[in-house]
Copies of this chain bind each other. A is one copy, B any other.
């Protein structure tokens, strides 16, 4: 498949910047607390919460809530094996496409991007 077609078809659940940041951060650790993830990514609480819900719905993360104190929640998030595969595959796809387009070089003909395959 043409790299451009492949690009246009990237999985948006993973590709969206905020979620790509979350998944990438989570793939670098075993477990993360909500506040820690918020700090790592710079997202607002509302934003992070929405994105985590989307990722959980997509099966890419698992969310646990427990209560260390009476009723104060503490939410921890893990990436699932499906999520880990998805984000690693995503980065590999991007890397592969980038390598392909770099082989084409800067000089190019009118309306004729070369395929570096």
Chain A interface residues (CB < 8 Å from chain B) = 2-5, 7-10, 12, 15, 17-18, 20-22, 24-25, 27-33, 36, 40-43, 91, 94-95, 97-98, 101, 104, 108-114
CB-based contact B32/A111 at 8 Å: yes
**Shortest distance between the CB of A76 and any CB in chain B (Å):** 8
CB-based contact A30/B110 at 8 Å: yes
B residues near A40, Cβ cutoff 8 Å: 2, 4-5, 113
Question: With the chains together, A17 CA to B8 CA distance in Å?
Answer: 5
CB-based contact B18/A15 at 8 Å: no
Q: Which of A9, A24, A95 has the most CB of B within 10 A?
A: A24
